[in-house]
Structure 1
Amino acid sequence: MIRRFTLLAALAVCLLSCGPGSKQTTTTSDSKKIFRLNLTGGLTSLDPAFADQRTNIWATTQLYNGLFSFSEDLHVHPELAENYDISEDGLTYTFKIKENVYFHDDQAFKNGRGRELVSDDFVYTFKRLMDPRTASKGSWIFADKVKRSPDGKLADDWVARVDDYKFKITLDRRFPAFLQILAMPFTFVIPKEAVEKYGKDFRKHPIGTGPFMLKTWNEKERLILVKNPKYWNRDVKNVALPYLDAVEVSFIEDKNQAFLSFEKKNLDFLTSISETSRNKILNKDGSIKDEFSSQFVVEKKPYMITEYVGFLLEGTDEKANPMLNKKVRQALSYAINRKNLISFIRNGLGTPGNHGFVPDAISSFDSTQIDGYKINIKRAQELLKEAGYPQGKGFPEITLNTYTTDKEIGEFLQKQWDENLGIKVKIVTNQFATHKDMVDNAKVSFFRGSWIGDYPDAENFLAMFYSKNFSPAGPNKTHFKDETYDKLFEEAHETDNTFTRYSDYHKMDQIIMDNSPVIVLYYDEVLNLKQKNVTGLKTNTMNTLVLEKVDIKSGNDSKGGDSAATGEKKTAKAE
């Protein structure tokens, strides 16, 4: 879909003159390649220290690089790391970074020109992530892993420069998945000058080494990224990357409206498909309809995400908050028909969450090892009676907090608990960013949640229940605490034996099922749509969006292809 239009003057000037570098795919303003997508959930920051939700992750991934990244098969491969060495005791990691990599041009630098990346940038980035003043929700990735002094504080030299292109990280204990940690967006490298110049406003003045640079961001409306002409990476044929000239992101929260825009070819890519739209794409058994696949490319695959309902386990007064009673939580879990939820609400998209918190997309998943929850109304009613609420009598109305785009699932659960247990549930919805903030800061006690794997190891999911990872600094949003669980979690880090580690993972997952700090609803599948002339867009079970090698074939112009990036009046949001 090569757009043939006149770009905004400012965009054209930026594309053609924002600095020396690689040859561009096109150099005239009437044939720019603009890739358009829509993101829901609210973009809150372009600072990688706050890349804790999909929208933030997808945006920062285009602007920054890290030491490593994940391939389609979820193997870690070097990105800015030239090579690395791990000491025999597994505690010291030494990294040699690539030379001749430059930050985006910006007024934060002398003469407005981006300087070369050096090892001090990684030292600064990682220490800033751990600085309480940053208040990053990603500090947990290092907090329980890196070297500490005898008084328990972070050692000054846990990350340290060796020379201009080499630095080292020292761990406090072994952690087999540490390279996977270093592929997470939280670890994308940033320059100190940018934070010093923009302060808290760095969130909307991103400066990285990535394939794209920020042009404009009108919050909740439009994000435009433009090609980085000094980008360091090339394809296998030694052609400069990226192929695209710009990326235009809209923020249409109404999923049906976004789908309509995609059908009209005002978007090149779409994810987060509503129930109404899924009816047009999928048959009731989850297979793809021929009529739709003949017009568009449909990708359906397991998604490394667990969808759940969580309980905030703070306090001891079960009369004031009956959900502190484990039997109540178990009863609520047994009362849900997960198979019907997937069939009726999601057109067969997903797998019932019957076998633990760790999803089936993770290699250690084994349904025979975890005794989870399936629909069992009789057992649910027995547990509720044992908790002191026979047939729901005397049970107070409870409030389930969720987000706007998830209302259908909330209403399904509301009906299940009313019909099967006699429990009345009030549904409160907010925009996703608001909902997430309330959950992270323990402002709600009963909430919908999703955990998208940051890296493909069960440890990442099980970290949600480690007592040292309480939110908002960590991912333990339920504030679950169990000594046996913590001991297993720590022991799993000490072994390189895969079978031993998997055994520990299964024991931890069973503890979660037995105590029910969460109700696992389903393991998700991803449904991505793209136009047929889009090439090079590859995803994995983490649903990572990397646009570095995406291209748009010529000779198939878009219908209604004008967009906000062009200065034309039609926008996807107005459809």
Structure 2
Amino acid sequence: MSTKKRFFSFFIMLLAFSMLLVGCSSSEETSNEDDNSDQSESEKDTLVFGRGGDSTSLDPIAVTEGETFRVTCNIYETLLKYGEQDMTINPGLAKDWSVSEDKLTYTFELQEGVKFHDGTDFNAEAVVFNFERWMNGDADQFPYYSMFGGYKGEESHVIESVTAVEDYKVEFKLKRPQTPFLQNLAMSPFGIASPSAIEEYGDKFRENPVGTGPFKFSEWRPNERIVLEKNQDYWQEGLPKLNKVIYTVIADNSARLNALISGEIDLLDGLDPQDATQLTDDLQLFERPSNNVGYLGLTATREPLDNKLVRQALNHAVNKQELIDAFYGGKGDPAVNPMPPVLEGYNDETEDYEYDVDKAKALLEEAGYPDGFEMDLWAMPVARPYMPNAAKIAEALQQSFKDIGVTANIQTKEWAPYLDDARDGKFDAFLLGWTGDNGDPDNFLYTLLDKDNIGSNNYSYYSNDEVHDLLIEAQAETDQEKRIELYKKAQVIIKEDAPWIPLVHSKPLLAGSKDIKNFKPHPKGSDILTNVEFE
């Protein structure tokens, strides 16, 4: 055989052998892909949660907004926790506790063998470290810490000391009784973080959260998604059941619903009640227990809203039931007081400002504005449980105010700067709301409307010394009947001063795929996903 023929035969054999190898390789890869596909269908373990806006931080003590708490309640844990779907107090990182007879000393026995996500130990020293960090800050750094009356060095600060008595025993001493103290400890902002991680990351800790919770932080792409992964070393055996949770931002309500219908996401919050009829048979509807208020804040330090008569006039201009019918699908109740009726201490004898255009005009004339005035009306850029469509509600309010001669120019901006500017008193009128954190009236009236919280959660900059004295007295009062009377008196004064137009106590809707199991929406507005799984 010639050299040319031998070469040609060798080439043909090599080509055939190569094709055989390719075929085997291709067959193997296809087989693996099929195996993975079968596994993903039969063992789905990633939950994609669609929401209307991004978190502003992953350090929960640094903010006051629910989109942060929605995520961080699965990264961090608190000393105490609420019930599965109520605000009862249960063991958390503290397995037991005792209270002295004078209600000034609280001693907590801590869970042992718990690790932070960075492998360091959770113990009494870690608890002390976190509280010392918070109390030595201020309202700009840690706005929610004002639940304990202020900050270290301030007369109003209720905590005298936090001490590690033993490795797994911590003692709180108070300057005065604070009846909702245990309820406050269970709030999402007071999740215990790794001291080592705080020291390592400094100002960047908000982007690198480390707690003891069922899920560990993996990734944050701002305004796009946050990814959490299963904590393989979680101290509660067999939990969590999911391997991964992805919080994805889809700002538009309709687009978010379409993503659920198409299977792009598994669960969504902020379902527009008017869209509930679009849910298909392979989806399920969830209703969050109502514990909220949606309101229009009227910044009491900005002219002409610094005039009580003007604020009262604006209250008379709003038909709340029409707003609820138009934008909540009727699923809500007109708000009279700043706190919802489900809370003990609600004053159901408070008289609301009836919808009366003529009365509103008369009050404006009495206040010196017979021809009305002009102001900015700020609308939230995100859907929230208490306000699924702020833009549309702002348009309706704009027309209501126009009817009494007031020109309201609608404004908006991104969520984080919106909250910052509202906190700093830069808005005239602004739409916001609140979902209760601890099941106590203090969390609405003191947190949102006491002068102690101007610059933190009191965005309307409302200040009334009589209200302040009632709320401080109520915090220290251990007789529940007396506490209730104090809160009822405060609500009457607040109603007269009209720092808000309380609009609605909504019944928030969520929707998810039919195969989601054990998802139980919580009244505080953020949901711990430890037990959630797919069928």
TM-score normalised to the size of structure 2? 0.87
- Superposed CA deviations along residues 508-535 of structure 1, whole A, max 9, x for unmatched, are 1111110011111111211011211111
Q: Who is 1:38 aligned against?
A: 50
Give the equivalent residue in structure 1 for 2:345. Answer: 364
**Amino acid corresponding to residue 48 of structure 1 in structure 2:** P
Check if 1:94 corresponds to 2:107: yes
- Summarize the Cα distance change of 1:32–1:370 in structure 2 as closer, same or farther, 3 Å threshold: same
Q: Post-superposition shift, 1:293?
A: 6.8
In the alignment, is the contact (CA less than 8 A) between 2:159 and 2:172 conserved in 1? Answer: no
Query: Is 1:215 aligned to residue 218 of structure 2?
Result: yes
Asked if the contact 1:297/1:529 (under 8 Å) is kept, the reply is: yes
Cα 1:143/1:488, change in 2 over 3 Å = closer
Q: State how far apart, in whole Å, the 1-side matches of 2:128 and 2:142 are.
A: 16
2:66 maps to what in 1?
54
- State how far apart, in whole Å, the 2-side matches of 1:232 and 1:521 are: 43
Please say if 1:159 is aligned against 2:162. yes
| Aligned mate of 1:181, from 176, 181, 184 | 184
Give the C-alpha shift of residue 343 in structure 1: 0.5
1-side partners of 2:194 and 2:144: how far apart? 18
1:422 to 402, 405, 409: 405
CA distance in 1, matches of 2:458, 2:214: 33
User: 1:398 maps to which residue?
Assistant: 375
Going from structure 1 to structure 2, the CA distance change for 1:384 and 1:157 (only over 3 Å counts) comes to: closer
Deviation >6 Å, runs of 4+: 26-30, 153-156
Counterpart in 1 of 2:387? none
Alpha-carbon distance in 1 for matches of 2:41, 2:328? 43
Shift of 1:386: 1.2
Q: How many angstroms does 1:139 deviate by?
A: 2.0
Q: 2:438 aligns with which of 455, 469, 485?
A: 455
Which amino acid counterpart does residue 401 of structure 2 have in structure 1? Answer: W
Partner residue of 2:203 out of 187, 190, 200:
200
Residue in structure 2 matched with residue 466 of structure 1 by the alignment: 450
2:391 counterpart residue number: 407
Are the equivalent residues in 2 in contact too, given 1:42–1:251 (CA < 8 A)? yes
Offset at residue 544 of structure 1 (A)? 2.8
Q: Which residue is 2:128 aligned to?
A: 123
Q: Is the 8 A contact 1:302 1:361 kept in 2?
A: no
Equivalent runs, 1:285-364 vs 2, <5 Å: 289=277, 292=279, 294-314=281-301, 321-353=303-335, 355-364=336-345
The 3-state SS of whatever aligns with 2:235 is: coil
Residue 548 (1) aligns with residue 525 (2): no
Stretch deviating more after TM superposition (251-260 or 265-274): 265-274
Matches of 2:359 and 2:289, distance apart in 1: 31
The offset of 1:548, in angstroms, is 0.4
Pick the aligned partner of 2:422 from 412, 426, 439. Answer: 439
Quick one: distance in 1 between partners of 2:358 and 2:218? 58
Q: Which has the larger radius of gyration?
A: 2
Q: Is the 8 A contact 1:305 1:451 kept in 2?
A: yes
Q: Is it true that 1:66 corresponds to 2:78 in the alignment? A: yes
Task: State the aligned residue count.
Answer: 493
Task: Map 1:107-146; keep pairs closer than 5 Å.
Answer: 114-132=119-137, 135-144=141-150
Q: 2:505 aligns with which of 493, 501, 523?
A: 523
Cα separation, partners in 2 of 1:549 and 1:498, compared to 1, 3 Å: same
Indicate if the aligned counterparts of 2:215 and 2:231 stay in contact, CA closer than 8 A: yes
Q: Deviations over 1:331-367 (max 9, x none)?
A: 10011000000111221121111x2111123233242
> Which string of whole-angstrom CA distances, capped at 9 and with x for unpartnered residues, describes residues 365-394 of structure 1?
242x2122231223212211211223xx1x
State how far apart, in whole Å, the 2-side matches of 1:314 and 1:280 are: 39
What's 2:368 paired with?
Answer: 388
Match of 1:492 among 474, 499, 516: 474
Residues 211-290 of structure 1 mapped to structure 2, 5 A cutoff = 211-234=214-237, 240-274=238-272, 278-281=273-276, 289=277
Distance 2:62 2:445 in 1: 21
1 CA distance for matches of 2:366 and 2:160? 54
Q: Aligned equivalents of 1:29 and 1:201: distance in 2?
A: 38
How far is 1:467 from its partner? 1.4
- Normalised by the length of structure 1, the TM-score is 0.81
> Unaligned 5+ residue runs, structure 1?
10-25, 106-113, 235-239, 282-288, 316-320, 554-575
| Aligned partner letter, 1:209 | T
Distance 2:222 2:57 in 1: 10
Question: Residue 237 of structure 1 aligns with which residue?
Answer: none
**What amino acid is the match of 2:127?**
F
Instruction: Specify the alignment match of 1:537 in structure 2.
Output: 519
2:379 is paired with a residue whose SS is: strand
Greater displacement, 28-37 / 519-528: 28-37
Cα distance change on mapping 1:123 and 1:502 into 2, 3 Å: same
Name the CA shift for 1:32/1:250 in 2 (closer, same or farther; >3 Å). Answer: same
SS of 1:158's partner is: strand
2:83 maps to 1:78: no
Change (3 A) 1:442 1:172: same
Determine the structure 2 residue equivalent to 1:573: none
Deviation per CA, 1:122-142: give whole Å up to 9, x if none: 111111122227811222022
Measure, in 1, the Cα distance between the counterparts of 2:422 and 2:435.
16
Task: State the distance in 2 between where 1:100 and 1:51 align.
Answer: 30
What residue identity is the alignment partner of 1:360?
A: P
Deviations 1:140-191 (A, max 9, x none): 02234x8x77x84969961111111011111121111111100011211112
Identity %: 28
The aligned counterpart of 2:194 is 191
CA contact (8 A) 2:80 2:94 kept: yes
